[in-house]
Structure 1
Amino acid sequence: MKPIRWLNRYAEESMMVFLLSVMVVIITAQVGMRFILGSSIGWSEELARYCFIWLVFIGISYGVKMQRHIRIDAFLRLLHAKQQLKLEMVVNVLFLLFAIFLLIYGGKISTQILMWGQRSPALQVNMGLVYMAAPVAMLLTSLRLTQQLLLQCKSLRTAALQQKNQKQV
Structure 2
Amino acid sequence: MKILKWIDDNLEIYLVNFLLANIAVWVFIQVVLRYIFSYSLPWSEELVRWCFVWLIWVGISYGFKVQKHVAIDFLVNKMPQKVRLIINLIINLIILWCMIKLAILGTEQILNPIIAKQNSIVLYWPFTDTHVTMLWLYASLPVGAFLSSIRVLQNIYADIKTALVIFK
TM-score band, normalised by shorter chain: over 0.9
Secondary structure of the corresponding residue to residue 125 of structure 1: strand
**How many percent of aligned residue pairs carry the same amino acid?**
34
How many angstroms apart in 2 are the aligned matches of 1:26 and 1:4? 32
> Which one of 142, 145, 148 corresponds to residue 138 of structure 1?
145
Gaps of 5+ in 2: 124-130
Secondary structure of the corresponding residue to residue 56 of structure 1: helix
Is the CA contact 1:104–1:135 (under 8 Å) kept in the aligned structure 2? Answer: yes
- 1:87 corresponds to: 87
How many angstroms apart in 1 are the aligned matches of 2:43 and 2:86? 49
Matches within 5 A, 1:55-94: 55-94=55-94
Bigger radius of gyration among the two: 1
Matches within 5 A, 1:1-169: 1-112=1-112, 116-123=116-123, 124-161=131-168
Secondary structure of the corresponding residue to residue 26 of structure 2: helix
More strand per residue: 2
Give the C-alpha shift of residue 114 in structure 1: 7.8
Moved over 6 A (4+): none
TM-score by length of 1: 0.92
After superposition, what is the alpha-carbon deviation per residue over 1:50-89, rounded to whole angstroms, capped at 9, x for unaligned? 0000000111100100101111112202210111011000
Is the CA contact 1:22–1:51 (under 8 Å) kept in the aligned structure 2? Answer: yes
- Calculate the aligned-residue CA RMSD, in Å: 1.2
The residue type paired with residue 63 of structure 2 is G
How many angstroms apart in 1 are the aligned matches of 2:67 and 2:10? 15
Give the C-alpha shift of residue 116 in structure 1: 3.1
How many angstroms apart in 2 are the aligned matches of 1:34 and 1:131? 29
Moved more, 91-100 or 19-28: 19-28
Give the C-alpha shift of residue 113 in structure 1: 5.3
How many angstroms apart in 2 are the aligned matches of 1:146 and 1:110? 25
Secondary structure of the corresponding residue to residue 83 of structure 1: helix
TM-score by length of 2: 0.92
How many angstroms apart in 2 are the aligned matches of 1:115 and 1:146? 30
